[in-house]
Amino acid sequence: MPGEGANAAGEALLRRLRRLLARAGAVKATDRNQLLAMLDDLETTRRGLLRECGEIEGQMKQATARTTAIGAYLRNSQVGRGKPQH
């Protein structure tokens, strides 16, 4: 199933974000190199999560379109057989 790979990628990104947040509590404010590295890691993770959100949004739109099409097909098939529409 195509969504399983995306789900695994999203979960990995969320785990990475949790690790970064935990690491942020241990970094000293004076350690500039570690802070810069963490900012870079956070930005990379943020972009990955945004990409995953976009993919999920696309899948939701596709599912909505399919649901609408199925409903229209059902209504049309009922009209053809003389069944009442709701």
Mean of the per-residue pLDDT values for the chain? 86
Residue 6 has pLDDT above 80, yes or no: no
Band the pLDDT of 1: cuts 50, 70, 90: low
Query: Rounded distance, CA 59 to CA 78, Å?
Result: 29
From residue 18, alpha-carbon distances to 12, 45, 78 in Å are 10, 11, 51
Phi, psi of 85 (to 5 degrees): -95, 150
Q: How many domains does the chain have?
A: 1
Q: Which domain holds residue 13?
A: 2-80
- 86, part of any domain: no
Percent of all residues in the chain with a pLDDT value above 90, rounded to a whole number? 35
Give 14-35 pLDDT, tens digit per residue: 898 888 888 888 888 888 898 8
Query: Rounded distance, CA 50 to CA 57, Å?
Result: 10
pLDDT at 7: 78
Phi, psi of 31 (to 5 degrees): -90, 85
Q: What's the whole-number mean pLDDT along residues 30-53? A: 90
